Structure formats: structure tokens, C-alpha cells
């Protein structure tokens, strides 16, 4: 590779524009649809999707025990989103070879054939263009894994929950409208029309309490393994409520873009007094999320060491021990933050800005953070952390008189303390920090404050939870003793 070629830099406006106008979402949706639907002519397929103007069609799996209201919720959801409502009987109607009472519920059909039947139905143009809601499908973990292998992956998996005694009572009072197939209940969900009320009929299948209990037992037996398959995108809804409230909650969940709370390209700014752990938290974030860690002090030292033209600008200031002008620091930062790794992967910056003037210059350069964190701690804690730390010049190990004392008297005797960690200097730096913080906090009104006087991994978890937004509910969130 030619060493004289300059590193590729992408204008920071690109990422900001793309996030503002949903370009990342658009590309992600188009690529996912092509991979899942596998059209014969992908170019024309993409053109049709773009002309339609709606690339984000809903793909929903609606699960729950018998009588939890899946049919009612699915119809309400499809009416609002225009998605296609798919049931077991709908899939069976696609193939006239499958008929009979046992197969009305999709039983006694080989698993691989059943998966192909589902895949065939979902590949039809109505499902591709409008999305789909699978009611009560899949029913087992094996079916769920088969669907995944076939490339059928939902955006949302909604699970309706209710106590068994409520479900049994609902099942025994269930009524069916023979003309529409709508399900009603004489106590919980009466039809508004008296005409509909008069034509209601009991289900074809006689339901005794014992039979309903057996069906519930069968559901609970399969539920744990089934839901584990979709652990990353499960959302539980309490179905022991009026059906309109349940439908409204499901609609609100599906229609709300869950990814909107988390930026596609993280641009993180960390503030905090000396000793608050900014460097450690930046390193942890960089390691986990593959973003670029940018420390302004280390960046300036690196540029100075490479003897470039910009490094020559730094030389008189660093050799004289003077402060580097903001214009030079910003020039170096702008070059670094505009490089390809930062614009595509994101960055976490600390050490700059130190005052509101620098913050305004950073904003004017279009390097705008998507998350700002203040790591808060008292001066006494900061002094304790910094003034009692030292380094072993032989091994390079770091020690602290309280938190990590030297393992032996020999090591203790050779420890070296950094002159910058003298209490007088530390407190001077703390005063400088607190002089600027009120104005910087006003400049970043949406910043998040984190208590830094905790274990570093606890601090990291607090930052992480606010970085990625609301985490999806998983099986570990299910109360103990409750069936999953």
C-alpha cells in the first residue's frame, strides 16, 4: 500500500444527515428484506419497495395460551397496520391435500413440511409487501428453530399472559360469530351489535374444564423452550385486562420504533472530574461496542511524536510546557473524528471540550455527540483515588494504598508517585473543572449524570443502559414461579 496516500476521511455531516433522515434504517430494512425474501430480480424488488415508500413492514409473532385473546389482538393489529393475519387454518387452506379434524390444528404434519407450508404462505406478494402477523405460530421450539433456518425472523414477538383460572373461565364462556369468525364472550367481551349477539354460537369443539386445563398444560409445557428461542425480542403483555386495552398496548409497542432510542453510530462524550474514571469507561465502551476511543491529551502526544506538519505546530507549546491553542487542538480532533473508523463505527471522546468555548467550536465543526455523560463524584473521593496511587517502575503494575496495596514491602519501597498526583495539584485541577461545569451542563441540557463513586463495572453498566436505550425484556425478567 502506498504510504503517501492520505487516510480516508468522511464528512461528519454524513452520519448526522443519515440518522436524521432515516437513511441507516432504510438501508438496513432493504438489505434485510432482500436476504429474507430472496427475490429472483433483487434490483426490481428494491425499486418496487422504494416506490411503495414503506420498507419497514411489520413482521409480528403473537403468542399466548388458549383464550388469551390472540385472535382479537391480531385482527386489531392487522386492521391498523394493514399487515396480513395468518393462522394455522389459513396455511392449511393453501394445500387442499390437508383436511380433516385432526389437521385443522396443524397436527400430524411432518415438521419440515409444516415449515415449508408456512414459508410458502409468507413468501406470497401480500405478505412481502404488507407484512404479517402470525397468530399462535410457532407452537414449539423446534418449529421456531425451523422458521429461523428458513429465514423467517420476526421484528416483534408479543406474548399475552393471564392466570390459568381466568383463561379457563374465558374458554368456557367463548362464543363465535359464524359469519365473521370473531370470538366473543358473554361476560368479558360482548358484541356491540344485538344482531351479532343473537347469532353467536358456541365453538364446534366441546370445551369442558378438564379439556381446557389440558390445553393450558400443553401450552405451558412447550412455552419455556419456545420463548427462549426469541429471548432477545420478547415483549410480554398482561392479557387479564379489557381487550381494547390489551390491543392498544400491543399496537403501541409494535408501532413504536424500538431502535429510535439508540444511535446507529455512537458519538459519546464523557465529562468528569480528575479521578472519575473517564479513561477506563471510554476503554470499556470501545472494547464492547467497537467504537474509537479518543483522548485529547493522548491524541496530541501521538501527533507530536509522529513529526508531521501538524506535530511541528505543537512543538513550541509542548516543549515550553504551555497550553496548546484551541484552534490547533480542534484541527487535530477534527482530522481524527473525520476518519473512516470514527464515522462508521463511532467514537467516545474525553478530555475535550473543557469549557463552553471549546464545546461551541466542536459543535460548529459538526462533530455533535449523540450521548453526553457526566461522571459525578465528590472532591474528597477524587483526592483519595489520585493521591494514593503509584506505579511499580520494575513491572509497570499500578497500586493504590487503599484499594490495591503493594503485595510486599519490597514492592512498596520502590513504588513511584506521579508528581501530578500531589494533593495541591489535584485540588487545583478540581477547582478548574468545577468552574466550567455549570456552563457545560447548560450547554448539554440532555446530558446524563452517573454516580462515579461506585465499582467501575457498575458505572459501566449504568452508562451502557442509557447508551442503548431500553433493553429488550428477556426470560430473566419473568417473575419467579411464573410460566414463561
In this model, does residue 56 exceed pLDDT 80? no
Same domain? For 241 and 346 the reply is no
Which of 97-111, 119-133, 413-427: highest mean pLDDT? 413-427
Domain shared by 282 and 312, yes or no: yes
Residue 32 lies in a domain: no
pLDDT for 6: 60
Pair (300, 153) in one structural domain:
no
Residue that terminates a domain, selected from 261, 282, 316: 261
Q: Is residue 31 part of a domain?
A: no
Both 349 and 450 in one domain: the answer is: yes
Residues 272 and 255 in one domain: no
Residue 240 lies in a domain: yes
Does 75 lie in the same domain as 110?
yes
- The answer to whether residue 5 sits within a structural domain is no
Helices (runs of H) and strands (runs of E) counted in the chain? 22, 14
Structural domain contains residue 29: no
- Residue 395 maps to a domain: yes
Residues 234 and 148 in one domain: yes
Q: Are the CB atoms for 44 and 38 separated by under 8 Å?
A: no
Q: At what angle do helices 326-337 and 309-319 cross, to 10 degrees?
A: 140
Do 239 and 319 belong together in one domain? no
Evaluate if residue 192 carries a pLDDT over 70: no
Peptide bond into 38 cis (omega under 30): no
- The whole-number average pLDDT for the span 79-92 is 88
Q: What is the mean pLDDT of the chain?
A: 81
The residues facing 473 across adjacent strands are: 234
> What CATH number has the domain bearing residue 420?
3.40.50.300
Overall domain count for the chain: 2
Q: Where do we find the cell 432482500?
A: 34
Which grid cell is 436?
Answer: 466550567
Eight-class DSSP state of 102: G
Choose the final residue of a domain: 204, 239, 261.
261
216-to-222, 224, 392 alpha-carbon distances in Å: 10, 13, 65
Q: Are 250 and 346 in the same domain?
A: no
Nearest to 19 by CA among 368, 264, 365, 269: 264
More confident residue, 151 or 220: 220
The verdict on 197 and 292 lying in the same domain is: no
Its pTM stands at: 0.52
Q: Do 171 and 150 lie in a common domain?
A: yes
For residue 328, what are the domain limits?
267-468
End-of-domain residue from the set 232, 261, 290 = 261
Do 320 and 173 reside in the same domain of the chain?
A: no
Amino acid at each position: 500500500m502506498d504510504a503517501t496516500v492520505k487516510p480516508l476521511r468522511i464528512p461528519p455531516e454524513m452520519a448526522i444527515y443519515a440518522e436524521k433522515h432515516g437513511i441507516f434504517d432504510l438501508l438496513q430494512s432493504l438489505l434485510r428484506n432482500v436476504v429474507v425474501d430472496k427475490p429472483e430480480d433483487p434490483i426490481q424488488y428494491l425499486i418496487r419497495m422504494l416506490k411503495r415508500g414503506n420498507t419497514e413492514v411489520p413482521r409480528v409473532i403473537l403468542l399466548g395460551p388458549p383464550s388469551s385473546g390472540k385472535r382479537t389482538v391480531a385482527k386489531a393489529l392487522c386492521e391498523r397496520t394493514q399487515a396480513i393475519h395468518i393462522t394455522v387454518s389459513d396455511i392449511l387452506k393453501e394445500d387442499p391435500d390437508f383436511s380433516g379434524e385432526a389437521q385443522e390444528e396443524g397436527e400430524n404434519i411432518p415438521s419440515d413440511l409444516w415449515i415449508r407450508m408456512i414459508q410458502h404462505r409468507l413468501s406470497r406478494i401480500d405478505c412481502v409487501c404488507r407484512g404479517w402477523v402470525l397468530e399462535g405460530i410457532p407452537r414449539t421450539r423446534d418449529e421456531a428453530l425451523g422458521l429461523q433456518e428458513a429465514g423467517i425472523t420476526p421484528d416483534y414477538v408479543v406474548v399475552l399472559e393471564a392466570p390459568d383460572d381466568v383463561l379457563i373461565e374465558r374458554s368456557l364462556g367463548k362464543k363465535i360469530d359464524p359469519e365473521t369468525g370473531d370470538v366473543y364472550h358473554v361476560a368479558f367481551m360482548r358484541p356491540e351489535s344485538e344482531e351479532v349477539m343473537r347469532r353467536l354460537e358456541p365453538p364446534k369443539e366441546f370445551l369442558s374444564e378438564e379439556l381446557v386445563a389440558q390445553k393450558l398444560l400443553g401450552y405451558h409445557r412447550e412455552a419455556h423452550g419456545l420463548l427462549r428461542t426469541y429471548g432477545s425480542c420478547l415483549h410480554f403483555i398482561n392479557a387479564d385486562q379489557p381487550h381494547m386495552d390489551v390491543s392498544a398496548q400491543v399496537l403501541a409497542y409494535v408501532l413504536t420504533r424500538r431502535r429510535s432510542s439508540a444511535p446507529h453510530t455512537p458519538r459519546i462524550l464523557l465529562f468528569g472530574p480528575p479521578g472519575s474514571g473517564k479513561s477506563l469507561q471510554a476503554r470499556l465502551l470501545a472494547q464492547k461496542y467497537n467504537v474509537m476511543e479518543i483522548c485529547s491529551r493522548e491524541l496530541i502526544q501521538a501527533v507530536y511524536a509522529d513529526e508531521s506538519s501538524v506535530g511541528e505546530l505543537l512543538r513550541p507549546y509542548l516543549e515550553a510546557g504551555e497550553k496548546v491553542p484551541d484552534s490547533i487542538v480542534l484541527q487535530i480532533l477534527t482530522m481524527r473524528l473525520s476518519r473512516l473508523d470514527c464515522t462508521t463505527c463511532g467514537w467516545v471522546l474525553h478530555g475535550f471540550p473543557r469549557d463552553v468555548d471549546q464545546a461551541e467550536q466542536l459543535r460548529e465543526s459538526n462533530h455533535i455527540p449523540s450521548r453526553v455523560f457526566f461522571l459525578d463524584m465528590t472532591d474528597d473521593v477524587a483526592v483519595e483515588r489520585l493521591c494514593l496511587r503509584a506505579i511499580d517502575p520494575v513491572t509497570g503494575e499500578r497500586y493504590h494504598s487503599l484499594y490495591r496495596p503493594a503485595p510486599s514491602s519490597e514492592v512498596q519501597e520502590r513504588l513511584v508517585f506521579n508528581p501530578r498526583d500531589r494533593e495541591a495539584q489535584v485540588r487545583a485541577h478540581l477547582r478548574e473543572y468545577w468552574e466550567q461545569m455549570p456552563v457545560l451542563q447548560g450547554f448539554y441540557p440532555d446530558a446524563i449524570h452517573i454516580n462515579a463513586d461506585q465499582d467501575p463495572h457498575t458505572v459501566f453498566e449504568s452508562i451502557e443502559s442509557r447508551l442503548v436505550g431500553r433493553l429488550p425484556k428477556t426470560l430473566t425478567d419473568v417473575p419467579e414461579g411464573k410460566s414463561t
